[in-house]
Homo-oligomer: A and B are copies of this chain.
Amino acid sequence: MEQVKLSQSLEDYLEMVHMLRLANGIARVRDIAAALKVKMPSVAKAVIELKKLGLVTQEPYSGIELTSEGALVASQILNRHILLKSFLIKLGVSEAIADKDACCMEHILSAETLEKIEDFVNTPNESAKKPNAAKSKKK
């Protein structure tokens, strides 16, 4: 399991391929560009890189597919995104901002921080504190 080390930018592209396939069944260059607010040639170039890394495949002039490894990596990123968004919303951040900030945070946080955030999100709202006295029972 050689974890591929992706740049933030490539992580964004890969994640978007995954999201568009979930939403529309197909990930096209046009839609990736629109969603990420870049131009199509930027997407094309990123797709070439992701192909080199074995994370996506593509028939010329058609939609982008994920390899099994690509699907794995993409869903890890997407899960981080979802976790972070819930986290920010739990802190009181508005949905739109939570989505935007989750999108930046998902690329940079260490595993340890992500774990702690997960603990926080999974803690019932009432007793969200006391990391030491915590897990006895939900009252």
Contacts and interface: CB of A to CB of B under 8 A. Distances in A.
A62 interface: no
Interface stretch (A25-33, A75-83, A127-135): A127-135
A49 interface: no
A127 to B, nearest CB: 8
A113 B110 CA distance: 19
Given A129-B126, A129-B128, A91 B117 contact: yes
Contacts of A112: 93-94, 97
Interface in A91-115: 91-94, 97-98, 100-101, 104-105, 108-110, 112-113
- How many copies of this protein are present in the complex? 2
Given A125-B129, A125-B130, A129-B125, A93 B113 contact: yes
Interface residues of A, number: 27
Contacts of A131: 91-92
10 A-B pairs with the lowest CB-CB distances in the bound complex, closest first? A104-B108, A92-B131, A91-B116, A92-B116, A128-B129, A97-B112, A125-B129, A101-B113, A93-B116, A93-B113
